[in-house]
Amino acid sequence: MSTMPSRWLFLTLLLLLTLSDLAAGQNKRSRHLHDLYCRSCHSSTIYLLDERKMASPGALVTQVLSYGRDGKVKLSESELRGIAEYLRTAYYDF
């Protein structure tokens, strides 16, 4: 009976590691998409300026999604949301 908590702990850790690997893979893909589609107009210095316009995660997502709606880039909504998440984790502190 004492092995049951150990099994749950092992399975929980395994699940967390798997989810972490999936998130890291998604972040890598999102960074690649950003570099491919966004970097030509938006160098990383624009994200480091003190007068950045993005004040919240929602504002950042809205701004990135607007590029898809405007037809400036041909990416799916989930890809654009991934780029917004990459930018949030790489450059923003919210």
57-93 pLDDT, tens digit each: 899 899 889 887 777 778 999 999 999 999 888 888 7
Domain count, the chain: 1
Domain that holds residue 25: 3-91
Task: Please report, for residues 48, 93, 94, the alpha-carbon distance to residue 85 in angstroms, rounded to integers and kept in the order given.
Answer: 16, 12, 11
- Asked whether the predicted pLDDT for residue 24 surpasses 60, the reply is no
Q: What are phi and psi of 63, to 5 degrees?
A: -65, -45
Question: What is residue 45's predicted lDDT score, i.e. its pLDDT?
Answer: 67
Residues written for the chain: 94
| Class of residue 83 by CB neighbours under 10 A (exposed 0-12, middle 13-18, buried 19+) | buried
More confident residue, 82 or 26: 82
